[in-house]
Amino acid sequence: MSGFVGAPINKTVKIIPEEKYPFKITGVKAKNGNNFKYTLKEIKESNRQEYLLNLENLKKEKGRYFDTIQLATDSEIKTEIRIKIYGNIIDKQKKGKLHE
């Protein structure tokens, strides 16, 4: 997630199980979770389950962060899915120049 200090920064990740390897997400947690909040929503699309993982930046000052979202599943093949989260919050543009 990249954006400017003070501006809203949101991202959505769509998770679509393969037809050959269906699974349900049974839990979600962040490794640290200090710089963003998340919600997971289950939706039905074309007669199959899909998931929307919404992320919202909470970091108020300039800087970078790294974290991992861990999704627990009921799959015997892959019991956990990890999604890497990168944040890059930069100063607002001033007079056409980008200040970091």
Q: What structural domains does the chain harbor? A: 2-90 (2.60.40.10)
Low-confidence ranges of the chain (pLDDT < 70): 93-100
- Report residue 74: phi and psi, to 5°: -95, 10
Q: What is the pLDDT of residue 45?
A: 75
Reported as a single tens digit per residue, the pLDDT across 52-64 is: 999 999 999 999 9
DSSP string for 19-72? SSS---EEEEEESS-SSEEEEEEEEEETTEEEEEEEEEE---SSEEEEEEEEEE
Evaluate whether 24 touches 73 at the Cβ level (below 8 Å): yes
